[in-house]
Structure 1
């Protein structure tokens, strides 16, 4: 501004001199007025010369200097300056954290041998993976998204499952077995032969050979609304009655009186054929799937291969015609959905999940979520609405919340429902609303009704989701990698509120919801629906605990013991064993869970977790108990296998994995024996280089051991003493080349 002022003064002086009539100076043309400059560049301002708005300015351009006038808007006020400082400070923090994360990931990867080809969830060709560590527009760091791309259906197209999913854990087991046993394994061989491997949709396959590449393919079917493929009125009545004693008490999303009135109205014009109804069709489909699976001895007398083969009579796809007609009828309701539309979407997701159609079930659940938002169920119902209607809306919303939370955690995918957008309160469970719902179940005392189970099941899912989010939504560090204490505190706080009427008693003073493996005391005269509610609540509790603690199971061949991680892994195994023991007793002695598909899926999840635990801890106090629980799981699968093929396939897979687990245990015992023999030899010869206090020999070995023929013969003799469950030819077929090459690391692993 000083330069500009001087220039204006000089110009004014010249004009005054001309006006006074001075003849000594020649006539000069009037100068063009210079454009105003808000701020001169640094160089012009220092030298107090005129500057312009060019970028760079003409003075700097003519002198070849670097002009500070870049054209960018600068902070001209104090608030702007504070905002710029805060922005720069936040950006520095982001960049520092971004530099630290790759170092932590690399250190973690160096410690483990499981290296999935799809550690990153970013498909090839996308932007830098590190960009996913931060929320868009914010600076809060999130956990790096791990996962696995795997084909879980007949199509070769692979889909993504997150790190909390069982598919990801199976991938880790597969990679470890390939490395430890020096054999080639396929993760697909660890997936049961469900209908999802054969069909695009829960429909049917032809008896003719339509195989492609060793897999059956679906063949075109007739119009799904063909009435000739449906049930008679008497058969429909049977399956509808089955619904009120099974799924209705676990998913209270219907009003019994309203549904029965609606069903009767469909027969108003004919007594031979009812009018189409999407809701009635999907209820019948769900109950046909459950009812066919609970029939005793369907697969008895068949070979193992026949029982494990999915055909058009399999229970998991029973009711497929009703499901398909429901889908056809729902297509006309998508633009103007109703409460009935939402009920259909929820039941469709349940039907598909029980049929092992993982991605289809996820899609149906997402449709239900969007429909619920369209209906405004996430908001608190108006006060003017009748209480009966308000409570059914609340139960619908929170049942969907539980379903979507289970689905997302099971598949390792982001949640669709969020607490921040929800104002709907939890549903009531008092006697008045239990009677208003139209059901005739008697109260259970202690202010407990048939709706109380749904309330506590919802609270359990809220507690588990809080622990899940705390672990997976943050960058891994020492405080949340295996924060078993935090998980335990949240779930124990929930457990304190569970009434005694919803707990299954134990024999010999055992504690419900514990891992003491005490036998159940099943009350003989308790209604079947209440017995099932009690068992489902406790089984869900153990299943969630198993999943929350499972990331602590590490398949590193050589690592230092970590008390925090090891304790969490032990808890994971304890809950998986508790679930297996409960399932074994209930299935083999009662009909409570016969044909219950979700219970089978929980058992499959627990069995695969136990396999991983035994591989990670082949030498430990709880290894033998976990290995025995795997045998109980096989018996459970064989029992379920009498009803549907996927369970028979699971029994076959688990038997094969059991043999591999035993082989690995023998190898680890052999390496342990060899190490002890070497230690004794060193101690006798006075060699203190290998024996030093309580440290392991592996910590002092400088390189891999070299075995000549004499040493190999000695090792063979030591190993032979520990092998008592395999034939001699099995032992001779073992490939010890992998063990000889890195003996020290593998022996150190067995000392944990």
Structure 2
């Protein structure tokens, strides 16, 4: 397996077939003289730069030829209904070569131009996977490209990625990537001693926790039927029960939240770097592994229980931040549900309780899979248009038949009402998401630059179009019954961005309070993600045009919804224990916090900048509170502090501070990270510029015809070789291509 980092002494690889400007191959074979000064790596980097420049020139030539071919094709008409398509990764014809850029701005599929994505590694392995333009990883890439340009220092994407167990281990089993060749790492059938599992009493504790926590928000099980099934697995007293994939995965996801609560209540302080085998997010991994081994035998003849297991497996991997494993588990769930006909109306000869359970399982899966695909920017598997299954019922009879004993909320609302409105929210979000991204080629033809951010007029028209398709979400917010709304003080309105304080009613069951919070938080997440593409970072191209009013308004809306989400989180974590150990809400806050940071980098002097900056401080408090349960959140708090330092530094420059006085904190300062040790003296003061999208234009010696927002090739933004502190050179060497799409210190 190719390593992402080679030996520091390895020379830069030769670029076969490339020649320098003088027509000769770059000199790469000469050995340094023994009398030469130390640190010859700078010479190697210079030669690598020459090779890189030649390669980029050739790449630009190829792209220009490709663009010219596309211009000769007839453009897609902007009138009439759009051609249906799904967001898809780049085809093999357009996938970047191993040593090319990691961003595919546009992909031509048939007659349409599809908004490309980014290839990045989000796990322990150096291998990269694809994330679309709606994903947080695409936004991180855009933001990092901008930061690299502004600070003249490489900001790889993984600098703003959480230190989760997925960054430490290749699987939830705690396998390392370098262990993949070991036989025991591959053998899923390897047995585990019974002593490693819980006792029956301990299992009962975690099962009871499931019914109190996840079950009201994920109504895919019949509680009474499950308990009968669990009792049927008993053997002799004192002996382990018979294995069951469903029981195993329910225990596994319950242990994630249960062990997080236990960690919070323990006296042991969790260090920020502790994301090892004891991390609560992979508690129960033995049960998860046994579940997967048992599910393997059900692939040819799946049942409803098989689908339930795949959904819960996707939950387990999602909460542990194994994004791709979660996506794979959901694909198995969708395919298995198709095999047993869950997407169709249940047979009339089934009991009503079974019919309703099948509807709840299908639509919960539909919502879960849709959320993940929108979050990752990838194609949908579950097709609502081809579904004949009715939405699940939520009346009193359906609630009684569901097998759980929860109090009725009102004459027209039960504990199942949340499931219905959760599904309707995701349906509305998916309609807007699909309508928006399907129309990309109607507004951007590819004739101006590489991506729509190069064409401010097209971007403004695209922003105007988004405004016309947001109505389903607004209608949904109006339709939610009062019993599922979190109250506000004064005249504050739920599902709004007025930032009015929430009111946690006394003597309300925790499951109902969670349902209310989860609905509103998800609403703000959905709105944030839909508006976020219009957060546009200042350009380094002086001829770029200022953004339009609608585009700027959408960017502000993305920030406003993230501010509202953060205020709700802050109130909840500082006053209640409702979300202790809940990993998905933590991921929502992380998504919102990075959106806030990105907005302030893009619009540091906007009218709402002070309230956005305040929300970043609140998010740090939220992460510190979640960090009492799992270490990943403490890492999130550290990352946000570092981003806040950079945000404040740039804001001072824009407000007119002396750039020689406004020097970034030294890397040795414990309040900062060692990645931020460079001086930013090349950034001009605000008195020298007009704050538009040309902010910081011309402040860097970057002779390239790319904007910061569309470049995506962080390797082009090499820090200057001269006048670099020695400690920066030791720890922050530029990365040189190794010929396999990976890079190592030069």
Return the TM-score normalized by structure 2.
Answer: 0.73
Q: Which has the higher helix share?
A: 1
**How far has the Cα of 1:620 moved from its partner?**
1.1
Per-residue deviation at 1:268? 4.3
Equivalent of 2:531, from 549, 554, 572? 549
- Where 2:324 maps in the other structure, the secondary structure is helix
Change (3 A) 1:530 1:368: same
Offset at 1:414? 0.6
Structure 2 CA distance, aligned partners of 1:741 and 1:586?
A: 39
**One of 325, 345, 360 as aligned partner of 2:325:** 360
State whether structure 2 residue 553 is matched by structure 1 residue 567.
yes
Q: Does 1:586 align with 2:572?
A: yes
- For 2:696 and 2:410, locate their aligned partners in 1 and report how far apart those are by CA, in whole Å: 53
SS in 2 for 1:295: helix
Which residue number corresponds to residue 448 of structure 1?
413
Could you say which residue in structure 2 is the equivalent of 1:650?
A: 636
- Give the 3-state SS of the residue equivalent to 1:144 in structure 2: strand
**SS of residue in 2 equivalent to 1:294:** helix
Work out the CA distance in 2 between the residues paired with 1:495 and 1:324: 40
Match of 2:423 among 458, 463, 475: 458
Q: Match for residue 729 of structure 2?
A: none
CA contact 1:429–1:455 (8 Å) conserved in 2: yes
Partner of residue 299 from structure 2, selected from 334, 346, 352: 334
Matched, 1:666 2:652: yes
1:123 aligns with 2:105: no
C-alpha distance in structure 1 between counterparts of 2:686 and 2:484, whole Å: 56
1:12-27 to 2 correspondences below 5 Å: none
Which runs of no fewer than 5 residues in structure 1 stay unpaired?
Answer: 1-91, 101-117, 674-714
Q: Which residue of 2 is the match for residue 150 of structure 1?
A: 120
Tell me if 1:414 matches 2:379.
Answer: yes
Aligned mates of 2:686, 2:362 — CA distance in 1? 58
SS class of match (1:574): helix
- Structure 2: stretches of 5+ with no match in the other structure: 1-69, 79-89, 99-103, 444-457, 670-675, 698-746
1:174 corresponds in structure 2 to: 144
**Residue among 267, 275, 278 paired with 1:313:** 278
The aligned counterpart of 2:680 is 735
Which residue does 2:108 correspond to in 1?
Answer: 133
Q: Which residue of 1 aligns with 2:673?
A: none
8 Å Cα contact 1:120/1:147 also seen in 2: no
How many Å separate the matches in 1 of 2:321 and 2:639?
A: 16
User: Is the 1:482–1:568 Cα contact (8 Å) retained in structure 2?
Assistant: no
Asked if structure 1 preserves the Cα contact closer than 8 Å seen for 2:189 and 2:293, the reply is: no
CA distance in 2, matches of 1:346, 1:640: 25
Paired residues in the alignment total 580
CA contact (8 A) 2:624 2:637 kept: yes
Output the CA distance in 1 between the equivalents of 2:465 and 2:390: 30
**Quick check: which has more Rg, 1 or 2?**
1
- For residues 130 and 314 of structure 1, the distance between their equivalents in structure 2, rounded to whole angstroms, comes to 37
Map Cα deviations across residues 698-747 of structure 1 (whole Å, 9 max, x no partner).
Answer: xxxxxxxxxxxxxxxxx66xx75xx69979x9999743335399954767
How far off is 1:181 after superposition?
A: 1.9
- Aligned partners of 2:92 and 2:619: how far apart in 1? 33
Question: 2:363 aligned to 395, 398, 405, which one?
Answer: 398
How far apart are the structure 2 equivalents of 1:313 and 1:461?
34
Q: Which of 275, 286, 292 lines up with 2:253 in the alignment?
A: 286
Listed one character per residue, the Cα deviations across residues 281-313 of structure 1 (whole Å, up to 9, x for unaligned) are: 00000000111112363676647xx33321111
Whether 1:193 aligns to 2:163 is yes
Change in CA separation of 1:378 and 1:748 when aligned onto 2, cut-off 3 Å = closer
Alpha-carbon distance in structure 1 between the residues aligned to 2:408 and 2:255: 29
1:121–1:147 Cα contact (<8 Å) kept:
no
Conserved? CA contact 1:300–1:642, under 8 Å:
no
The alpha-carbon distance between structure 1 residues 222 and 334, as it changes in their structure 2 partners (threshold 3 A), is: closer
Residue of structure 2 aligned with 1:612, choices 598, 615, 624? 598
* Cα separation, partners in 2 of 1:742 and 1:205, compared to 1, 3 Å: farther
Residue 299 to residue 615, structure 1, CA distance change in 2 (3 Å)? farther
The two structures, once aligned, show a CA RMSD in angstroms of 3.3
Offset, 1:657:
1.1
Cα distance in 2 between the residues matched to 1:426 and 1:375: 18
Change (3 A) 1:733 1:246: closer
Question: Partner residue of 2:737?
Answer: none
Match of 2:485 in 1: 503
Name the counterpart of 1:689. none
- The question of whether the paired residues in 2 share the 8 Å contact of 1:151 and 1:157 is answered with yes
Q: Report if the CA contact (8 A) 1:205-1:312 is conserved.
A: no
3-state SS, counterpart of residue 131 of structure 2: strand
**C-alpha distance in 2 between matches for 1:131 and 1:561:** 21
**2:210 alignment counterpart:** 243
Q: Distance in 2 between matches of 1:734 and 1:665?
A: 16
- 2:200 is matched with 233
Q: Is the 8 A contact 2:399 2:414 kept in 1?
A: yes
Shift of the 279–645 alpha-carbon distance from structure 1 to 2, 3 Å rule, reads same
- Contact 1:580/1:629, CA 8 A, preserved across alignment: yes
Provide the rounded CA distance (Å) in 1 between the counterparts of 2:693 and 2:165.
43
Trace 1:708-723 onto structure 2 (pairs within 5 A): none
8 Å CA contact retained: 2:562, 2:593: yes
Deviation (angstroms), 1:523: 1.0
- CA-CA distance at 1:666 after TM superposition: 1.5
